[in-house]
Structure 1
Amino acid sequence: MLVVGFPVGALQANCYLLATGEGEACVIVDPGQDAVEPITEALRKHRLSPVAVLLTHGHFDHVFSVAPVCDGHDVPAWIHPDDRDLLADPLKGISPETAAFFGGRLAMREPAEVRELTDRADLDLAGLTLTVDHTPGHTGGSVCFSAGTEEGGRIMLSGDTLFAGSIGRTDLPGGDHARMLVTLREKVLPLDDDTVVLPGHGPTTTIGRERASNPFLLELQRGTGAPAAPHRGL
């Protein structure tokens, strides 16, 4: 599997391109702020043809370029229905401080074609089978995407659910710390240790590394709950 990733925008959200190899069809995950140019360059460099855009959640730092990317390549965007309204109203999902930083205005619109994600569904796109897990907590419509690799392992695109050493914040509109703990307990902790995690911000990690060192997962495993998440991302 070919995985191309790079941070974009003021909040350095990770955008990813996934394909079976060079010169093949691909999916684009989380085209955030200022993502059009680096996506275009990555498509050219690796001779890729996009067939869909997948969104881990609706926060603008992950979806800001979804309309130009989708409409420019005539491909659909996939998002969980609980976050769909954020595509056209990005201020609905961010803090007043973040909104003020951007002048209180973020103009966005839905792309021409939007399809809604379903929990535990398999998406067969670009020669890949990607499993959708609804992982609410950071937002109501947060999802993670996972796929097998030719080598027998698995990768998970965790969005802002799980980071290296941390988890997504839950204090924004649509966030819910109790739901995040359920997500971590039921959807993250059962995963195999060798699952490679491609997060929405920061470096790549593995489930095994996070199980052994992430303070939030450690607290859950001890049965003592977990502290409130720090502010990361929006």
Structure 2
Amino acid sequence: MFVLSFPAMAFATNCFVIARALGEECLVVDPGIGVVDTLRQVFDEHRLRPAAVILTHGHLDHVYSVTPVCRSGGAAFLPAYIHDDDRYRLTNPVSTLGPDLREMFEQEFGPAHKWQEPEDIRTLTDGQQLTIAGIDLGVLLAPGHTEGSVMFGIDAVPDGVPDELDRTMITGDVVFAGSIGRTDLPGGDDRAMQRSLRDVVLPLPDSTLLLTGHGPATTMKRERAVNPFLRGLAG
């Protein structure tokens, strides 16, 4: 499996491009701020054809470029997938920011009225199984950072990953290397996050590669051992 990631221009949000192999269709995960030109270069360099955008949640730093990316599919608009509980955020993600963050964002990137939601939005449910671009995805609802935060599981790993890893989980802002997503933004819920960490994240096998929404990739084995938020739950 081919996986390429790069940080967006703001908030260091990881954008992922995933395909079975070079020269095939691909998925775009969480296209954040200022990623469109880089994505075009990635598509051209690796002969990839975008098939869909999948979103781990609806925060602005993860969805800012979803509409232009969905319009890059030629004659047909690419679908954007998001959990039903975060669907409302695509109406205008700037409006879901707190006042201070909204003012800061609009000073940097312009007024909210420029936002346009994707033409083809498809909602996800917990436990749903999808096959897009030849890649089988499992959807795990893990609220807490937002109401509709999800993780995407793939029963494969990127080329070149060590043999002890046999599964990939795209975690969004649920869990990071050594940390977890914040719960103090609108729609966040600390109790829901604790349940998600206990019931959704902790049961993942140690052989799972975690591709996180910010920061470096990690593994479930490592996070089980060193992540203080998970160690506290395990204890």
Q: Following the alignment from structure 2 to structure 1, what is the Cα–Cα distance between the partners of residues 92 and 120?
A: 17
Q: Which residue of 2 aligns with 1:169?
A: 182
What runs of 5+ residues in structure 2 fail to find an aligned partner?
Answer: 158-162
Secondary structure at the counterpart of residue 211 of structure 2: strand
Provide the rounded CA distance (Å) in 2 between the counterparts of 1:139 and 1:210: 21
Q: Distance in 2 between matches of 1:108 and 1:163?
A: 29
- Show the counterpart of 1:133: 140
CA RMSD of aligned residues (A): 1.3
Percent identity over paired residues: 49
Deviations 1:52-89 (A, max 9, x none): 10000000100000011102212100001111111122
DSSP-derived class of the 1:197 partner: strand
| Pick aligned residue for 1:89 from 80, 89, 92 | 92
Aligned residues: 222
- TM-score, length-normalised on structure 2? 0.91
Q: In the alignment, is the contact (CA less than 8 A) between 2:92 and 2:117 conserved in 1? A: no
Q: Normalized against structure 1, the TM-score is what?
A: 0.91
Q: State the match for 2:33 in structure 1.
A: 33
1:39 is displaced (CA, Å) by: 0.8
List structure 1 runs of 4+ shifted beyond 6 angstroms: none
- Which of 113, 119, 122 is the matching residue for 1:112? 119
CA distance, structure 1, for counterparts of residue 95 and residue 128 of structure 2 = 27
* Residue number in structure 1 paired with 2:44: 44
Q: Hey, what does 2:213 align to over in structure 1?
A: 200
CA distance in 1, matches of 2:216, 2:224: 16
Give the secondary-structure state (helix, strand or coil) at the position aligned to 1:26.
strand
Amino acid in structure 2 at the alignment position of 1:42: V
Matching residue's letter, 1:95: G
Deviation at 1:93, TM superposition (A): 2.8
Assess if the C-alpha contact under 8 Å between 1:92 and 1:173 holds in 2: no
Deviation at 1:124, TM superposition (A): 0.4
Other structure's SS at 2:170 match: strand
5+ residue gaps, structure 1: 223-234
Q: Describe the SS at the equivalent of 2:223.
A: helix
Q: Does 1:79 align with 2:82?
A: yes
2:100 equivalent to 1:100: no
Output the CA distance in 2 between the equivalents of 1:192 and 1:61: 29
* Other structure's SS at 2:199 match: helix
SS at match of 1:91: helix
